[in-house]
Amino acid sequence: MSNQAQNVELANFLALTSMTDTQLDAYYVESVLALQDSQVQVAASIIEVGSGVFVYDWPEDCIRILTAFYANKELTRAPVHQLDLQQRDWRSETGIPVHYVLNHEAERTVRLYPIPLLDGDPVPFPTDFGSSYPDGNLVLLYVTDNLDVPDWLDLPIACAILAKEFSRESSHCDKKAAELYLRLATVLRGIGGPP
Amino acid sequence: MTTALEVATLVLERVRDPEGVATTINQVYDLIDRVQVLLVRGLGLMARDRTFSSEPDQTLYPVDPDETLQILDLFQGAVNRRLSPCRWAQMIQVRRDWWRYSILDGEVPETMQVWAPVGTSLLVMWPPSDTFAEIVTVREQQRPAMVTEASSVLDLPDEHLPLLQDIVEVLLLLRTKHVEAAEIAMGRLEPQKEE
């Protein structure tokens, strides 16, 4: 794996032009966030559920929720308008959760629907996904904020960064080079894939 | 058995920088290393088998992306029965409770059926046994040895060296702003469109 600083350094080396790291850093983050879920680091986190508690915060290192589980079942994501159509007073309904809603009460939250009425088992530390898995809780599967990328993506990402940088209006703007870097990034991704 | 020096010398000649003035030979070794990783992954080379023991009732396992470029296959038990790869997001279509579903004694199927990578850092093996651990063999790609010096021997088989050389050549030409020459060299990397 290689980190942001290493990849920005690679882009700077390939450019042979003095560029501001801040700009390249921004392009790096943009490029990594645009990667497919299969190409980034993911994690699973068990969150202890309390009776009557229906809103839970995302883990601190989470940048995108992939899915959620309650007890032994995978929940499906439901948009608010769908729940509104389905049941007008869905917000107060209680039972075993079957759906989750993202960012309804506040940003970076998961809301369970219906509202669970049971406490989950205490979550041990470190958490265990095997025989001593604590039942009745919320599990979030998510993309982490770890922006390190697998080594094979270094060059495609560096080329994508340079495609953006050379297409930007600046003293070193070079549309032709930008186009070639973009084409090269695409070719390299194709060669290194499939994900 | 080709050394980094042989490849770097050839590429520097092709970009008309045989003395390594614009790009030093050590910098070319670094590019060779990165391109080699990309090609090894994309071509499915350098597979090795690693054996470990699954845990009862456990569906989710960590993967170290530093050690594993990509998982190619999974085999279960002493007979090395091949498990089918699938996408984890499809598991909910099989069973909504797939997450915590385990095989009970006497139930059919009696063995694991599928595996799925989740991002670069997690692996699903399903369904697990509820009572016993199983031997699992992971066929995975390992990272080739780092190319750091003249005597470094490339792990990439010789038949793939022309592609590696073409990629490094384009990178060096772009770096030194030989955009027209880079475009011609790019033509060798991109799939040709049918007339």
**Taking CB atoms and an 8 Å cutoff, what residues of chain B touch A66?**
89, 118
Residue B53: count other Cβ atoms within 10 Å of its Cβ.
9
Write the pLDDT tens digit of every residue in A34-87: 888 888 899 999 999 999 999 999 999 999 999 999 998 999 999 999 999 988
Tokens of B53: 């023991």
Write the pLDDT tens digit of every residue in B93-116: 988 999 888 777 666 666 788 999
Contact state of B122 with A73 under an 8 Å Cβ cutoff: no
Taking the CA of residue A135 and the nearest CA in chain B, the distance in Å comes to 9
Give the helix ranges, DSSP H, for B91-178: 91-94, 161-175
**Taking CB atoms and an 8 Å cutoff, what residues of chain A touch B102?**
none
Pairing of β A55-57 and β A109-113:
antiparallel
Residues of chain A under the 50 pLDDT cut: none
ipTM for the predicted complex: 0.90
From the list A13, A41, A76, the residue facing B65 with the nearest CB is A41
Contacts of B21 (CB under 8 A, 6+ apart): none
B91 burial class (0-12, 13-18, 19+ CB within 10 angstroms)?
buried
Tokens of B50: 């690693």
Contact state of B100 with A177 under an 8 Å Cβ cutoff: no
Give residue A84's pLDDT.
93
Q: Are B153 and B144 in contact (CB under 8 A)?
A: no
Using CA coordinates, name the residue in chain B closest to A129: B58
Contact state of A73 with B97 under an 8 Å Cβ cutoff: yes
SS3 B79: coil
Using CA coordinates, name the residue in chain B closest to A179: B183
Tokens of A140: 């979030």
Tokens of B110: 């009696």
H-run or E-run covering B14 = helix B4-14
Taking the CA of residue A168 and the nearest CA in chain B, the distance in Å comes to 17
Tokens of B96: 């909504």
Tokens of B145: 């040895």
Beta bridge partners of B47: B141
pTM over 0.90: no
Write the pLDDT tens digit of every residue in B117-152: 999 999 999 988 887 888 999 999 999 999 999 999
End-to-end CA distance of chain A: 15
Tokens of A114: 């219906």
A166 burial class (0-12, 13-18, 19+ CB within 10 angstroms)?
buried
